[in-house]
Amino acid sequence: MKDVKARTVFVPPHRERGVVDARIAEAGLRPTAQRSVVYGVLLDHAKEHPTADEIFIQAKTEKPEISMATVYNCLDALVKHHLVKQVHLERAATRYCPNMDEHAHFLCETCGEVWDFEGAAKPRTSGFRVPSGFTVTQTEVNMRGVCPACAEQEVAR
Amino acid sequence: MKDVKARTVFVPPHRERGVVDARIAEAGLRPTAQRSVVYGVLLDHAKEHPTADEIFIQAKTEKPEISMATVYNCLDALVKHHLVKQVHLERAATRYCPNMDEHAHFLCETCGEVWDFEGAAKPRTSGFRVPSGFTVTQTEVNMRGVCPACAEQEVAR
DNA sequence: AATCTGAATTAGAATAATTCTAAATGTTAT
DNA sequence: ATAACATTTAGAATTATTCTAATTCAGATT
């Protein structure tokens, strides 16, 4: 039987008992209750690219004592340990993204939602000249435009 | 004599009398004294990708009565009329960029400075799959790494 | 098991960037 | 000159985030 093609779409792991903690531990972080909740919420809502605030509200339903400061602390720790990325497409609340596969972000200028476009930047062919002396460690691609749902609404008018 | 190669590096226009105003007018904006000062300052400091605050400080030397709110108003107007772009590489003060040629931004993670890398994104070859139904109007490429000056300091240690 | 130690969490205060508000001023069309 | 509208202004308000200091927690050590 042939091998299945490499998966290019990010699928967040199920939040089975221990899976989230294991990932946190693998990243070299102590899996505290709060970190598990925060990371778990983020994995569950990866598509929405939630803000700290949105994560806080959701986390509270699982752990009512959690504080906003802790959500920020946990997110910072997750970012430092490469489990999560910050997304800044506009000057608005930072959004968080647990998809660490290389991908581009798309911001719908009509509804403000953010989408992941899978793929990988090819520095050689991307069309930009990196002057000598510069070391590029990360390339981020952000697109803007109109998502299918908003395009439809536009037509209806 | 052969033609000189097309210039790919953004050269801000000199701030000769009227040039800045003419650009503002061409963009469909009334060239008020404040707008001229704000746009002029930004053109003079294009390399630095200044924040509203930095523009305000500099604008004050030319027009002491100008207020912060006006700097924001002017910048908003310039952005709306496609004379200026906002740059958001991190959650920090918005930076402004009067280089409307297509280019990438590079953020030095050591010193925090932002640089322009000339070139143009080639959506076809850039390596990302745009799902059908999405309309992309703008593609922005941001790189991170170490600039030559900071790389040198690193070595010295 | 009790104790120590450093890490993590907490509530609330502080900060920073930006937006809002309402009044004053300036500009353009009549 | 006047009306109508746009722009500017100072300062208040808002928002996201960071800071602070006290408390709690987890794991290691007695």
Query: Would B14 be classed as within a structural domain?
Result: no
Q: Evaluate if the CB of B17 falls below 7 Å from strand C.
A: no
Q: Evaluate if the CB of A92 falls below 7 Å from strand D.
A: yes
- Point out the residues of chain A with pLDDT beneath 50: 2
Residues A90, A109, single domain; the answer is no
Whether chain B has a CB inside 8 Å of the CB on A142: the answer is yes
Query: Would A41 be classed as within a structural domain?
Result: yes
Contacts of A51 (CB under 8 A, 6+ apart): A92, A93, A94, A95, A96
Instruction: Say how far B84 CA is from C17 C1', in Å.
Output: 19
Q: Kindly report the length of chain A.
A: 157
Instruction: Look up residue A62 and give its two tokens.
Output: 């699982």
Q: Which pLDDT belongs to residue A100?
A: 95
pLDDT bucket at B10, cuts 50 / 70 / 90? confident
pLDDT at B1 over 60: no
Q: Which of residues 85-124 of A touch B (CB under 8 A)?
A: 86, 88-91, 94, 103-104, 106, 109, 115, 117-122
DSSP state of A128: B
Query: Would B13 be classed as within a structural domain?
Result: no
pLDDT at B124 over 60: no
With CB atoms and an 8 Å threshold, state whether A119 touches B134: no
What are the chain B neighbours of A51 within 8 Å (beta carbons)?
none
| Mean pLDDT across B92-113 | 94
Residues A37, A84, single domain; the answer is yes
Q: What's the total number of domains in chain A?
A: 2
Residues B87, B129, single domain; the answer is no
Nucleotide nearest to B69 (CA to C1'): D9
Residue position matching structure tokens 């803007």? A144
Tell me how crowded residue A137 is: count the other CB atoms within 10 A of its CB. 9
Residues A54, A78, single domain; the answer is yes
Residues A28, A82, single domain; the answer is yes
Query: Would A5 be classed as within a structural domain?
Result: no
Residues A30, A80, single domain; the answer is yes
Which of B95, B111, B136 is the endpoint of a domain? B95
Residues A54, A106, single domain; the answer is no
CATH of the domain at B107: 3.30.1490.190
Give the angle subtended at the CA of B123 by the CAs of B121 and B128, to the nearest 5°: 115
- pLDDT digit string, tens, across residues A71-92: 999 999 999 999 999 999 999 9
A23-53 exposure pattern, b = at least 16 Cβ within 10 A, e = fewer: bbeebebebeebbbbbbbbbbbbbebbbebe
Which of A76, A95, A114 is the endpoint of a domain? A95
Contacts of B115 (CB under 8 A, 6+ apart): A134, B105, B106, B108, B147
Query: Would A14 be classed as within a structural domain?
Result: no
- pLDDT digit string, tens, across residues B39-78: 999 999 999 999 999 999 999 999 999 999 999 999 999 9
Query: Would A138 be classed as within a structural domain?
Result: yes
Query: Would A9 be classed as within a structural domain?
Result: no
Structural domain for A77, as ranges = 19-95
Q: Which pLDDT belongs to residue B72?
A: 98
Q: Which pLDDT belongs to residue A143?
A: 93
Residues A23, A86, single domain; the answer is yes
Which of A60, A79, A95 is the endpoint of a domain? A95
Residues A61, A112, single domain; the answer is no
CB nearest B133 (choices: A89, A128, A148): A148
Q: Evaluate if the CB of A86 falls below 7 Å from strand C.
A: no
Q: What are phi and psi of A22, to 5 degrees?
A: -60, -40
pLDDT at B7 over 60: no
